[in-house]
Amino acid sequence: MAIGWAFLGDVVPLYALYALLFAAHGLSDAQISVLFGMWSAVGILAEVPTGALADRFSRRGALVVAGMLQAAGYALWVAFPSFPAFAAGFVLWGLAGSLVSGTFEALLYDGLATVDAEALFARVLGWVRAVGLIAQLPAALATTALYAWGGFPLVGWVSVGCCLGTSVVASRLPEAPRTAADEPEPATVKPSVTGSYVATLRAGLVEATAHPGVRAAVLAVALLTSIDAVEEYFPLLARDWGVPTGLVPVAVLGIPLAGAAGAFLGGSSGRLRTGAVAALVAAAAVGLAAAGLSRQPLGLVAVAGSYGLYRLALVVVDARLQDRIDGAARATVTSVAGLGTDLASFAVYAAWAAGGVVLVAALLAVIGVSLRWLIPPRTRRIRGRKTSGS
């Protein structure tokens, strides 16, 4: 069921064309940039509060609502194509993304924990991430066909249907029952603060920032995940390295496939030592830098290999964070990492603007070195308690 949710969530045809939709209805580059800025701002502001909502009420419900909000945003775009409707759609999409961020990982981990199978978290997460990347391929083919048959309206309404489909599938995901033990301890709440939502929010923030092991893992996830922003530039790389524009989609096809392979293997690499994970990230940085220095179409092969290693390491690091969280506010803690990713992504954009892929590779290398101290050792549960592993 989780695999189906991931597939539907990433096979939305409108992803590849929404910027062109805006331009086709008269928006300037400046107006489109404003829309992207609004989208980012909503995501940053809503990231942690929506994580606490999922923890306090229902993580499964948060995923259902997220699909409905995203569908509503796209429906506005198709039915009323104008700047106000595009802005409102981005607000809804930003809220939807915030509801999903951290919530799915928390739902999955605690669901596995109820059957003493949390050790399988990395493997299942790797499968889900791999399917999400592979889904980009049929999505690209479907987008081409849908646009040829019915233009932007058909692409948009099919995308609305895909988002509603994710809500339907999400409603079938199992959710671990909440117990009194899941409530935040009264001692963690200031006497002047009332309301269980506030208590949940504060419990998550305290665990994410005050517990050294969790804080380091949150930072590791935030920094490493931010590098994924470079994915938006892969078509530009291919064009700049001499690939004809018409062949760019085919030329970059191997990159998400390599990422899917890396994510899949990451699920079986949970026992990797911290130094090995850092070495994988460093190797990915070296490959990315070599490709950037060569500036040849063949360099896309090195980019694909680097992306596969990166995705493998990302699954391992995400799993280490979930393994470190002890409190009930798991989605809130994970959302703090998501907030850190949003903020750190600006450094990736700045690195790209200043030095292109080579400077981004240097940034990835620095992050790889830092992981040696940030990633906590793997833990395992023995008779109800956590113990550290290598």
Asked if residue 191 is part of any domain, the answer here is no
Four-residue CA torsion sign, 305, 308, 310, 313? negative
Looking at the structure, do residues 229 and 320 belong to the same domain, yes or no?
yes
Same domain? 367 vs 224: yes
In a domain, residue 180? The reply is: no
Same domain, 84 and 134: yes
- For residue 350, count other CB atoms closer than 10 A to its CB: 13
SS3 146: helix
In terms of domains, do 93 and 208 share one?
no
Write down which residue in 159, 175, 191 finishes a domain: 175
**How far, in Å, are 120, 123, 127, 271 from residue 265 at the CA level?**
13, 8, 9, 12
Whichever domain contains 276, its CATH number is 1.20.1250.20
User: In this structure, is residue 186 part of a structural domain?
Assistant: no
Please check whether residues 120 and 256 belong to one and the same domain. no
**Do the domain assignments include residue 182?**
no
- Say if residue 313 is in the same domain as residue 217: yes
28 occurs within a structural domain? yes
Residue 162 corresponds to which tokens in the numbers above? 């895909």
81 in the same domain as 6: yes
Instruction: Give yes or no: residues 272 and 335 share one domain.
Output: yes
- Give the pLDDT confidence score for residue 6 in this predicted structure: 66
In this prediction, residue 17 carries a pLDDT of 85
Last residue of a domain, one of 175, 196, 228: 175
Yes or no: say if 14 and 156 are a contact pair by the CB < 8 Å rule: yes
Digit-by-digit pLDDT tens for the chain (390 residues) are 677 676 677 789 898 788 889 989 999 988 988 898 899 899 999 999 999 999 999 999 999 999 999 999 999 999 999 999 999 999 999 999 999 999 999 999 999 999 999 889 999 999 999 998 888 888 878 888 899 999 999 999 999 999 999 999 999 999 987 654 455 444 343 333 334 899 999 999 999 999 999 999 999 999 999 999 888 788 888 988 998 876 787 888 899 999 999 999 998 877 788 899 999 999 999 999 999 999 999 999 999 999 999 999 999 999 999 999 999 999 999 999 999 999 999 999 899 889 999 999 999 999 999 998 888 666 554 334 455 554
d(CA 282, CA 261): 18
Beta bridge partners of 385: 382
The reply to whether 181 falls in a domain is: no
Residue 355 amino acid letter: G
Residue 386 confidence (pLDDT): 54
Cβ contact 46:102 at 8 Å: no
CA pair distance 169, 128, nearest whole angstrom: 14
Measuring CA to CA, which residue among 94, 136, 348, 314 is closest to residue 233?
348
The C-alpha atoms of residue 39 and residue 92 are separated, in whole angstroms, by 9
The whole domain housing 316 covers: 204-388
The closest alpha carbon to 271, from 319, 202, 330, belongs to 319
Indicate the burial class of 84 (C-beta count within 10 angstroms; 0-12, 13-18, 19 or more).
exposed
167 with 55, same domain?
yes
Q: Domain count for the chain, please give it.
A: 2
- DSSP letters along 333-353, please? HHHHHHHHHHHHHHHHHHHHH
- 171 lies in the same domain as 305: no
How confident is the model over 108-150, as pLDDT tens digits? Answer: 999 999 999 988 999 999 999 999 888 888 887 888 889 999 9
Q: DSSP code of 184?
A: P
Q: Whole-model pTM?
A: 0.87
The tokens of 237 are what?
């790389």
Answer yes or no: is 276 within a domain.
Answer: yes
| Cα torsion angle, 8, 314, 104, 201, sign | negative
User: So what's the pLDDT on residue 325?
Assistant: 95
Domain boundary, last residue among 175, 195, 213: 175
Instruction: Write the single-letter amino acid at 188.
Output: T
Is position 36 within any domain?
Answer: yes
Residues 143 and 258 in one domain: no
Residues 244 and 292 in one domain: yes
- What pLDDT was estimated at residue 7? 62
What residue ranges in the chain does DSSP mark as E strands? 379-382, 385-388
